[in-house]
Amino acid sequence: MTQRRQLLRPAVLVLALALCGASAAAQGGTRVIKGQVLDENGKPVAGAVVRLKDKTTKKEVSMTTNQNGRYQFNNVKLRSDYRIQAEKAGRRSRSRGISQMDTRTEIFMHLRLQPPKEPAEKKPSKEEKDN
């Protein structure tokens, strides 16, 4: 029985170290963030600029979508919070957050460009009202 325990201990130790290593890799590892930029009608937008900003370091990386409106950021740190937004021709998507609490190593995020905002109507001045 003692001989069996002596053989089992190294196996348990190796298994425990492997599990700790996998956990550490997940905590300090990287992820992929990818998706598609769409217009207000749900059609892909080629040539849109997608910006990914690290909220802690304020470092920003950007890329341009392909002909199918797709983008992909590789090697994004798991242990940081990010904001992502797309833009083309003055139209922007809403800014969306990606939390370090989200432990997925692959995130799909579609960004929808909003139609351009109508300029606010200028209120007439008191003089214009009197005329």
Is 131 within a domain? no
Q: Is residue 16, in this structure, part of any structural domain at all?
A: no
The alpha-carbon radius of gyration of the chain (Å, integer) is 25
pLDDT in tens, the chain (131 residues): 556 556 555 555 444 444 444 444 445 799 999 999 999 999 999 999 999 999 999 999 999 999 999 999 999 999 999 999 999 999 999 999 999 999 999 999 999 999 877 765 666 666 665 65
CATH assignment at residue 103 = 2.60.40.10
Residue 117: its pLDDT value, please?
73
Q: 120 lies in a domain?
A: no
* Domain presence at residue 130: no
Domain count for the chain:
1
The answer to whether residue 8 sits within a structural domain is no
- Inside any domain, residue 103: yes
Determine how many CB atoms are found less than 10 A away from the CB of residue 88: 19
State how far the Cα of 115 lies from the Cα of 38, in Å rounded to an integer.
11
Query: In 3D, which of 107, 62, 51, 56 has the Cα closest to residue 80?
Result: 56
Q: What is the reported pLDDT for 128?
A: 62
What is the domain range of residue 36? 25-112
90 falls within a domain: yes
